[in-house]
Amino acid sequence: MMYDVVSNFTYHAPKDDQPRRYEDIRNIAKGMAEFIVAHCPESREQSLALTKLEESVFWANASIARHE
């Protein structure tokens, strides 16, 4: 558990192909966000969908940073 605490609150400098992978994830999520905005009415639900998408990008990138 202490290892997780230390790891989760430590800066992980990008290495190798990580920056490209972060960018790929953001670009794919951006396309999905644009699709949601274009196809879903402005609403609390749309806002939540976009928030969850942002969270998904964060966690996907965190998995790359923390576990490689």
pLDDT digits (tens, 9 = 90+) for 40-56: 999 999 999 999 999 99
Pair of tokens at residue 18: 């990580």
The answer as to whether 7 is a domain residue is no
pLDDT of 2 reads 81
The answer as to whether 53 is a domain residue is yes
User: Helix count (H) and strand count (E) of the chain?
Assistant: 3, 0
Stretch 29-38: mean pLDDT? 98
Q: Residue 68 sits in which domain range?
A: 41-68
Q: Is the pTM of this model over 0.95?
A: no
Amino acid at 23: E
Domain count, the chain: 1
The answer as to whether 19 is a domain residue is no
